[in-house]
Amino acid sequence: MKSRSFGIAGSAVAHPRRSVSSREVDERLGMPHGHVEATFGIRRRQWADPQETSSAMAAAAAAQALAEADWSADTLDVIVGACGVMEQPIPGTAPLVQRRLGLGGSGIRAYDVNATCLSFLVALEHVLDGFALGRWQRALVFTADIASAALDFRDHEASVIFGDGASAFALAADGAHRCRALRIETYADGADLCRLEAGGTRLRPHEDIDGFLAASRFRMNGPGVFRAAGRRLPRFLQTLLGEARTAPHELATIVPHQASAPALEHLKRMLPDGHARTIDIFAEHGNQIATSLPHALHVARTRGRLRTGEQALMVGTSAGISLGGAVFQW
């Protein structure tokens, strides 16, 4: 498949007002000061209050991205939501963001995609396809997740590392960037390793409220995910770089999903000069589910790390279990 071209006209992130230090989390857990930071490599994260919704955060990020692009919102051709978990089941989060942007009467198509932490890559694939086929010129992709709504603090590893946040990218068909390859692999034999079971068609709160509540906290087998994803990552990267006709040393910047401190360390060690090349915002924001990957891309962009002619790798894992990545030339 040929590479697809595009431009990033604007990007932004938005977070809840409340920043929670790991010292505060230590107290909540009844652990000695310094425990959470020393154990999990995270200093702070942002947690939403109930009135700070996914669509509100996403709309705030989108407004900033559109302002940078200098696009009137009504010139968008498509709005794609890429949240790990939607704000509510019906309707999707993309229509809710469309309305918050004042586009409720616009007719601009708005819908969602979902691959948990890799949702941004799926949205990007869909938008780049539309650019390549001439279907649209301007797209808004957003992510938003509020992990803090479903954490179980009895399981430290599956709770303290998560943060809330949103991102938005204003993407243009007309641009000098190229996506040389984009790849997703799913291994659902690991589907139970990360799960949030309550909130869909299977568990019915009116019929079994206790079972529903018990299943309404996020469950993660961290070592299991690390093994399932880690053992497949070398071959995955080899295939992706082969499709992109590039090599590890050509990748000037690595933009990873911010899964955990050990996962980031593992990735940095796999790639040449990995520690210097990798965007690592985990200590300040934690794992923001679907927002981590685009947030890291936004940081790479604003820090001048996406230089013309150079290549960058986006890569991550998600519940599913899926591995995903893309190689861009800027």
Question: In the range 68-107, which residues lie near a copy of itself by CB under 8 A?
Answer: 79, 83-96, 98-99, 103-107
State the Cα angle at 240 between 237 and 243, rounded to 5°. 150
Q: For tokens 């709309």, name the residue.
A: 59
Of 240, 290, 303, nearest to 120 (Cα)? 290
Distance of closest approach, residue 199 Cβ to a copy of itself, in angstroms = 4
Number of residues that bind a copy of itself (CB under 8 A): 86
User: Which of the residues 244 through 263 are near a copy of itself (CB under 8 A)?
Assistant: none
Do the strands 4-14 and 165-186 form a parallel or antiparallel pair, or are they unpaired?
Answer: antiparallel
Q: Which is nearer to a copy of itself, 101 or 255 (CB)?
A: 101
Looking at the Cβ atoms of 236 and 330, the one nearer to a copy of itself is: 236
Q: Which of 312, 313, 319, 326 binds a copy of itself (CB under 8 A)?
A: 319
Q: Which x/- pattern over 224-243 shows residues binding a copy of itself (rule: CB under 8 A)?
A: --------x-----------
Q: What is the rounded CA–CA span in Å between residue 74 and residue 213?
A: 41
Q: x/- contact string, 284-303, with a copy of itself (CB under 8 A)?
A: --------------------
Please report whether residue 154 would count as binding a copy of itself according to CB under 8 A.
Answer: no
Binding mask 187-206 for a copy of itself (x = CB under 8 A): xxxxx--xxxxxxxxxxxxx
Query: Least CB distance from residue 250 to a copy of itself, whole Å?
Result: 23
- Please identify, using beta-carbon distances, which residue of 258 and 278 lies nearer to a copy of itself: 258
Q: Find the shortest distance in angstroms from Cβ 291 to a copy of itself.
A: 12
118 contacts a copy of itself (rule: CB under 8 A): yes
CA distance 291 to 119: 9
Is 155 a binder of a copy of itself (CB under 8 A)? no
Per residue, what are the HEC states of 4-72?
EEEEEEEEEEECCCCEEEHHHHHHHHCCCCCHHHHHHCCCEEECCCCCCCHHHHHHHHHHHHHHHHCCC
Report whether 118 contacts 184 (CB < 8 A). Answer: yes
Find out whether the peptide bond into 91 is cis, omega within 30 degrees of 0: yes
Scanning residues 36 to 65, which ones bind a copy of itself (CB under 8 A)?
50, 53-54
Q: Which is nearer to a copy of itself, 21 or 216 (CB)?
A: 216
| Residue 68 contacts residue 167 (beta carbons within 8 Å) | no
Task: List the one residue out of 140, 138, 149 whose CA is nearest residue 174.
Answer: 138
